[in-house]
Amino acid sequence: MSDRVRTALGPLELPSPVLTAAGCGGTGRELAPFFDLGRLGAFTTTSVTAQPRAGRPTPRVAETPSGLLTAMGMPGPGIETFLERDLPWLVEQDVRTIVSLAGHSVEEFAELAHRLRGVPGVAAVEVNVACPNVADRGRMFARHPAAAAAAIRAVRDGTRPGTPVLAKLAPDATDIVTIALACVDAGADGLTLINTMEGMAIDTGTLRPALTGVSGGLSGPALRPVAVRCVYQVHAALPHTPIIGTGGVATGLDALELILAGASAVAVGTALFHDPLAVPRVLRELEEALAARRIERLADAVGLAHRPAGFVPPQVRPHEPEKERTP
Partner 1 sequence: MSDTPVQTSATVLTVRQVQDYHAMTLVAPAIAERFRPGQFVAAAVGGAHTARLVRRCFGVHEVKSDYGGTVEVVFADTEPGTGWLAGLRSRDQLDLVGPLGRPFRLPRDPVGCVLTGGGPGAASLFALADTLLRRGCKVHFVLAGPSARQVFGSRMAQRVGDTAAIVTEDGSVGEEGTLDDVLPRVLQETGADVVYGCGPTDLLRTITQIAGELGLPSQVSVEEFLQRTGACGTGLCMTCMLPVHGEDGVTRMVRACADGPVLRGDRVRWSDLGTIPFDALGAPRVLSVTEGGSR
For its own copies, the closer CB: 82 or 232: 232
Q: Which of 7, 16, 27, 46 binds ligand FMN (CB under 6 A)?
A: 46
Binding residues with ligand FMN: total (CB under 6 A): 25
d(CA 324, CA 84): 27
User: With b meaning 16 or more CB within 10 Å and e meaning fewer, what string describes 157-175?
Assistant: bbbeeebbbbbbbbbbbee
How many Å apart are CA 169 and CA 74, to the nearest integer? Answer: 16
Residues 211-230 contacting ligand FMN, CB under 6 A: 219-220, 223
Chain residues in the site for its own copies (CB under 8 A): 64-67, 69, 143-144, 172-175, 197-202, 204, 207-209, 214-215, 218, 220-226, 228-229, 232-233, 248, 253, 256-257, 260-261, 289, 293, 301, 304-305, 309
Query: From the list ligand FMN, its own copies, partner 1, none, which binds 48 (C-beta under 5 to 8 Å, kind-based)?
Result: none
Q: List the one residue out of 146, 148, 152, 149 whose CA is nearest residue 132.
A: 148
Among its own copies, ligand FMN, partner 1, none, what binds residue 268 when CB lies within 5 to 8 Å by partner kind?
A: ligand FMN
The listed partner (partner 1, ligand FMN, its own copies, none) that binds 204, CB under 5 to 8 Å by sort, is its own copies
SS3 content of the chain, % helix, strand, coil (to 5): 35, 20, 45
Nearer to partner 1, 6 or 229 (CB): 229
Q: Which of 106, 115, 123 is nearest to 164 (CA)?
A: 123
* Binding site partner of 21, from ligand FMN, partner 1, its own copies, none, Cβ cut-off 5-8 A by kind: ligand FMN
Applying CB under 8 A, the residues found at the interface with partner 1 are: 23-26, 30-31, 33-34, 46-47, 51-61, 63, 65-78, 104, 128, 130-132, 134, 137-140, 170, 195-196, 198, 211, 213-217, 220-221, 229, 270-277
**Distances 6 to 92, 204, 244, 260, 293 between C-alpha atoms, Å:** 23, 47, 14, 15, 17
Closest residue (Cβ) to ligand FMN?
23
133 interacts with ligand FMN by CB under 6 A: no
DSSP for 222-275, written as a single string: GGHHHHHHHHHHHHHH-TTS-EEEESS--SHHHHHHHHHHT-SEEEE-THHHH-
Q: Give, as one character, the DSSP assignment of residue 153.
A: H
Contact present, 271 and 249 (Cβ < 8 Å): yes
- Annotated active-site residue 183? The verdict is no
Q: Does 278 bind ligand FMN (CB under 6 A)?
A: no
What's the closest the beta carbon of residue 160 comes to partner 1, in angstroms? 27
Main-chain phi, psi angles of 88, to 5 degrees: -60, -35
What are residue 267's DSSP bridge partners? 19, 246
Specify the amino acid at residue 227. Answer: A
Q: How far is the CB of 180 from partner 1 (least distance, A)?
A: 16
Nearest to 119 by CA among 104, 98, 103, 105: 98
Active-site positions?
131
> Which positions touch ligand FMN (CB under 6 A)?
21-24, 46-47, 68, 70, 72, 100, 128, 168, 195-196, 219-220, 223, 246-249, 268-271
